[in-house]
Amino acid sequence: MENHSETPVLQQHRVLVANRGEIAIRIMQACIKLGIPFTAIYTAEDKDSGHVLFAREHGDGKALYRVSSYHDANELMSVADISGCTALHPGYGFFAEDFRFARRVTKRDRSMIFIGPSWKIIRELGDKINTKRLARSLGVPTVPGSDRPTYDEMEAENIAEEVFDFQLRHSIEHPLVLIKASAGGGGMGIEEVDDIDQFRSVYRRVRNYAARQFKDEGVLIEQRIMDYNHVEVQILGDSLGNVVHLFERECSVQRRHQKLIEECPSAFVTPELREKMTSAAVALAKRVGYRSAGTIEFLVDKDRNFYFCEMNTRIQVEHPVTEQVTGVDLVCEQLRIAAGEPISFKQEDLVMRGHAIECRICAEDTEMNFMPSPGVIKQITEPNGIGVRIDSYVYEGYEIPIYYDPMIGKLIVWATSREYAIERMRRVLHEYKLTGVKNNISYLRAIMDTPDFVEGHYDTGFIAKNGEYLQ
């Protein structure tokens, strides 16, 4: 939240929290911590959400406004005008990585502050081809495949044939090609093929999905790295040119490219690999003048070769594990950086203490292909104690709506070692009682008891390889 006076003062601003649920509460908590007034929004379907109750209890007379949709930019700007907001935090999802929205926020007659990187940076880093070229220019390895989005089916098929040939020449046992929506993110718009004869039908499906979901038919063709770990590096950059990394997170327990469990640090990453990946992440962020919190994602193969994947220009769902291990409040840092202040610490001040694990608690039916399970929560008992954190927005009697993401909370534990963190997570998952809606708690318990997870010997194929333990 830039202030053009000589001394930036956070308290001079009011933040519009342009999101819902647990991330909205998380942003409001950070505002309270720093003494910043806030305004939250809600829809008719969300009127009983925990973030609404939190805003009503902890905010002032301008803390809560109703909108018809979280996706309506006009309404959000109207609420900002009415409530006197001078800054906007998008959280994750919705408008968080929409450069057009960020541009609109900061280009208004009464300029607001978008709490995140500039709209130009969001646009530049949201283009997977641009970021791939940027990574290559810095000597950061990238996955073989497209150098630009393709909109032509024959051209796409020719690239796929080249990638298949590359894999065969390098004696890759199971050649696979990924077909990805260029404008996609969060694991959406990705499919794979193992036979060139299947390519056209899958390509058309991804292209049509991309057109509907992202209003852009551009498609990327890449080699599918098998048996890889999904590792991401958290970074912070400020307006003074400072960039720091906050180590890595292991995000390889996934189902359909959606993360279920995250850890910090990774049991797979060696100190040498950590140094290479974090240095690459800092170099990428510095090259573009990145400001705010961001995450750079890498694929790491079984031989610990790493490849740049993409950059997320927002706070991540899994940010709490980094906070628990480093002691840094990432959302508060976002707010300070937006005010024009420098990052509140230096790289050499950071150390990793202990180990943190996060489980995403979702209202879904694990026996019915993980279908969302909306309904009324009849009873909930949340675990607590030393090293236990819960980021959630639900309560007994709350009706989970069908309109939004089925994630109802995040259960995070910290302990002095990975072994003890797993033990603690086992215990608190058994203590976590939730009735009235189907949920994935028992499924998460099973993961904690699976030998590959316990030993730290897992990759993104974990779910498929361990079906016998996850019944």
Which 3 state secondary structure label does DSSP give 11? helix
Amino acid at 12: Q
Tokens of 263: 């850890």
Residue 314 catalytic? yes
Task: Return d(Cα 228, Cα 226) in angstroms, integer.
Answer: 5
Question: Is the per-residue pLDDT at 379 higher than 50?
Answer: yes
pLDDT value of residue 182: 80
Q: What's the pLDDT tens digit per position in 402-461?
A: 889 899 999 999 999 999 999 999 999 999 999 999 999 999 999 999 999 999 999 999
Task: Return d(Cα 253, Cα 247) in angstroms, integer.
Answer: 19
Q: In the predicted model, what is the mean pLDDT of the chain? A: 92
Instruction: Evaluate the omega torsion of the peptide bond into residue 265 and state whether it is cis, within 30 degrees of 0.
Output: yes
Question: Is the per-residue pLDDT at 55 higher than 60?
Answer: yes
Sequence-ordered strand ranges (E) for 13-79: 15-17, 38-42, 64-66
Based on its alpha-carbon atoms, the radius of gyration of the chain, rounded to whole angstroms, reads 22
Mean pLDDT lowest among 1-15, 137-151, 227-241, 275-289: 1-15
CB 27 within 8 A of CB 38: yes
Question: Is the per-residue pLDDT at 215 higher than 90?
Answer: no
pLDDT value of residue 159: 86
Q: What's the pLDDT tens digit per position in 291-321?
A: 999 999 999 998 899 999 899 999 999 999 9
Catalytic residue among 314, 360, 418, 424: 314
Tokens of 309: 């994947």
236-262 b/e with 16+ CB inside 10 Å = b?
A: bbbbeebbbbbbbbbbbbbbeeebbbb
Average pLDDT of the segment spanning 91-107: 94
Tokens of 10: 């956070």
pLDDT value of residue 196: 86
